[in-house]
């Protein structure tokens, strides 16, 4: 029966059996393993998805000499939604980060990383319920990549902050917080030192904040914010920051709840969205069945929400939480002995049984 689907990805006509089209980028290292696990989990929800698989690995980039192969970019531009595993990025040389290249090419300006305590998971903060969301401007700052060797062994890197990008990420954050019923937004900065760059970011954020009087707004210098996150993470609700601070602080926050292996990520633009695990490719454990697919599964939860499949997203979220709550089939990185497949089997079974609980 014809109808319409409403979601963050837009409204489109469809037939009841018409699947969503989603670009799948497995990546390399453990990427293909966690990507296959996430696909199985999503498929178990019953949402029909036509997965368009495109290969993107460090080896492919080196051989093609393209940081972002045209086939990958074309696929995401056409489907408008991507699910991406980790891709190895060389350090202090070699090609640019694929993540950065993809965000720039598609103007994925909003990086969204929810950081939540999973039930049953033992951490140093297991007696504290952490439930915060980090919003990171995704297209400029030092990640503009404007570096220059002035003379031998003297390098300058330009930090780029613009009104357009600052207002855009601030408005997205406040709108998101309003929609989800969040209460407090904290802007993180270093405007005490970088008075022009971070000062502009703060001025833009303050202007937007005045349009949302129902939301509490405050500001913290990034070093103090980092300390406060370690001391009392439960005090934070929504964090908003420029690119570099967002990258660092989101990894710090992930460490509070068990690590990058369980924290999802989304990159949102006006036209496209790419959902990804933010952990590395971990080549040392690739192919050994030890990888934890939780981060990419939770990223898939965010993808389902973006598509407007809210009920399916909730079923998958509850299924993952049920497996953690029971604690019997967890991967070694979170204290278990299960393989990637055994963990995935447990999640799929919970989704299909529909008994994840409230």
Give the model confidence (pLDDT) of 265-274 as tens digits.
999 999 999 9
DSSP string, 80-145: SEEEE------SSSSSPPHHHHHHHHHT--EEEEEEEPPTT---TTTTS--EEEEEEE-S-BGGG-
Residue 74 has pLDDT above 60, yes or no: yes
Please report which confidence band the pLDDT of residue 90 belongs to, taking 50, 70 and 90 as the band edges: low
Please report which confidence band the pLDDT of residue 56 belongs to, taking 50, 70 and 90 as the band edges: confident
More confident position, 99 or 305: 305
**What pLDDT, on the 0 to 100 scale, is given for residue 13?**
43
**What pLDDT, on the 0 to 100 scale, is given for residue 358?**
40
Residue 252 has pLDDT above 80, yes or no: yes
Lowest mean pLDDT among 22-31, 141-150, 152-161, 296-305: 141-150
Using one digit for the tens of pLDDT, what is the confidence trace for 278-335? 898 999 999 999 999 999 999 999 999 999 999 999 999 999 999 999 999 999 999 9
Domain ranges of the chain: 1-118+261-358, 124-257
**What pLDDT, on the 0 to 100 scale, is given for residue 9?**
47
Please report which confidence band the pLDDT of residue 95 belongs to, taking 50, 70 and 90 as the band edges: low
**Cα–Cα distance measured from residue 269 to residue 271, given in angstroms and rounded to the nearest whole number:** 6
Residue percentage of the chain with pLDDT more than 70: 92
Q: Cα-Cα-Cα-Cα dihedral of 234, 239, 245, 246, to 10°?
A: 100
Q: Which CATH fold topology does 124-257 show?
A: Isopropylmalate Dehydrogenase (3.40.718)
Residue 91 has pLDDT above 90, yes or no: no
Please report which confidence band the pLDDT of residue 96 belongs to, taking 50, 70 and 90 as the band edges: low
Through-space distance between the first and last CA atoms of the chain, rounded to whole angstroms: 32
Closest CA to 191 of 246, 241, 148: 241
DSSP string, 7-68: STT--EEE-TTPPEEEEEE--STTHHHHHHHHHHHHHHTT--EEEEE----HHHHHHHT-SS
Tokens 């992930």 correspond to 254
**What pLDDT, on the 0 to 100 scale, is given for residue 249?**
97
How many angstroms separate the Cα of 145 from the Cα of each of 16, 104, 176?
45, 11, 29
**What pLDDT, on the 0 to 100 scale, is given for residue 11?**
44
Residue percentage of the chain with pLDDT more than 90: 80
Residue 4 has pLDDT above 80, yes or no: no
- The residue from 247, 322, 324, 333 that is catalytic is 247
Q: DSSP E strands: which ranges in 205-281?
A: 216-221, 238-241, 264-268, 273-277
**What pLDDT, on the 0 to 100 scale, is given for residue 16?**
55
Can you tell me the mean pLDDT for 25-29? 94
Indicate the DSSP class of residue 279.
S
Residue 157 has pLDDT above 80, yes or no: yes
Residue 12 has pLDDT above 70, yes or no: no
Please report which confidence band the pLDDT of residue 238 belongs to, taking 50, 70 and 90 as the band edges: very high
Closest CA to 44 of 357, 347, 356, 338: 347
How many angstroms separate the Cα of 343 from the Cα of each of 170, 244, 265, 314, 346?
38, 33, 20, 19, 5
N residues, the chain: 358
Using one digit for the tens of pLDDT, what is the confidence trace for 172-219? 999 999 999 999 999 999 999 999 999 999 999 999 999 999 999 999
Can you tell me the mean pLDDT for 336-345? 98
**What pLDDT, on the 0 to 100 scale, is given for residue 97?**
72
Active site residue 107: no
**What pLDDT, on the 0 to 100 scale, is given for residue 241?**
98
Active site residue 223: yes
Active site residue 14: no
**What pLDDT, on the 0 to 100 scale, is given for residue 160?**
96
**What pLDDT, on the 0 to 100 scale, is given for residue 60?**
81
**What pLDDT, on the 0 to 100 scale, is given for residue 92?**
44
Fold match between domain 1-118+261-358 and domain 124-257:
yes
More confident position, 62 or 349: 349
> What homologous superfamily is domain 1-118+261-358 in, according to CATH?
Isopropylmalate Dehydrogenase (3.40.718.10)
Segment (H or E) for 186:
strand 184-189
Residue 17 has pLDDT above 80, yes or no: no
How many angstroms separate the Cα of 201 from the Cα of each of 72, 230, 241, 288?
32, 25, 8, 45
- The residue from 143, 172, 245, 324 that is catalytic is 143
- The residue from 84, 104, 190, 322 that is catalytic is 190
Can you tell me the mean pLDDT for 342-356? 90
Q: What is the mean pLDDT of the chain?
A: 91
Active site residue 190: yes
**What pLDDT, on the 0 to 100 scale, is given for residue 14?**
39
């Amino acid at each position: 029966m014809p109808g319409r689907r409403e979601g963050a990805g837009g409204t489109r006509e469809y037939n009841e059996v018409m699947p969503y089209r989603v670009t799948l980028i497995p990546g390399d290292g453990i990427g293909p393993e966690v990507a296959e696990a996430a696909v199985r989990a999503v498929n178990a929800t019953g949402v029909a998805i036509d997965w368009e698989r495109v290969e993107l690995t460090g080896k492919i980039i080196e051989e093609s000499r393209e940081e972002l192969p045209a086939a990958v970019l074309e696929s995401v531009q056409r489907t408008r939604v991507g699910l991406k595993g980790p891709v190895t990025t060389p350090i202090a040389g070699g090609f640019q980060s694929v993540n950065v290249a993809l965000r720039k090419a598609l103007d994925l300006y909003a990086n969204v990383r929810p950081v939540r305590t999973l039930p049953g998971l033992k951490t140093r903060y297991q007696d504290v319920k952490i439930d915060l969301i980090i919003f990171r401007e995704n297209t400029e700052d030092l990640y503009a990549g404007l570096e220059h060797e002035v003379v031998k062994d003297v390098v300058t890197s330009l930090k780029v902050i613009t009104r357009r990008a600052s207002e855009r990420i601030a408005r997205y954050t406040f709108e998101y917080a309003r929609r989800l019923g969040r209460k407090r937004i904290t802007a993180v900065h270093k405007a005490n030192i970088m008075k022009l760059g971070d000062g502009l970011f703060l001025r833009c954020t303050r202007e937007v904040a005045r349009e949302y009087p129902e939301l509490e707004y405050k500001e913290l210098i990034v070093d103090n914010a980092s300390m406060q996150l370690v001391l009392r993470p439960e005090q934070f609700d929504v964090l908003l920051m420029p690119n570099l601070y967002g990258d660092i602080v989101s990894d710090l926050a992930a460490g509070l709840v068990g690590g990058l292996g369980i924290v999802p990520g989304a990159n949102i633009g006006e036209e496209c969205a790419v959902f990804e695990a933010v952990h590395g490719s971990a080549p040392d454990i690739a192919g050994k069945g030890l990888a934890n697919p939780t981060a990419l599964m939770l990223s898939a939860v965010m993808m389902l929400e973006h598509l407007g499949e809210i009920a399916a997203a909730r079923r998958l979220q509850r299924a993952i939480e049920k497996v953690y709550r029971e604690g019997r089939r967890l991967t070694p990185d979170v204290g278990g002995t299960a393989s990637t497949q055994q963990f995935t089997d447990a999640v799929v079974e919970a989704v299909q049984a529909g008994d994840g609980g409230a």
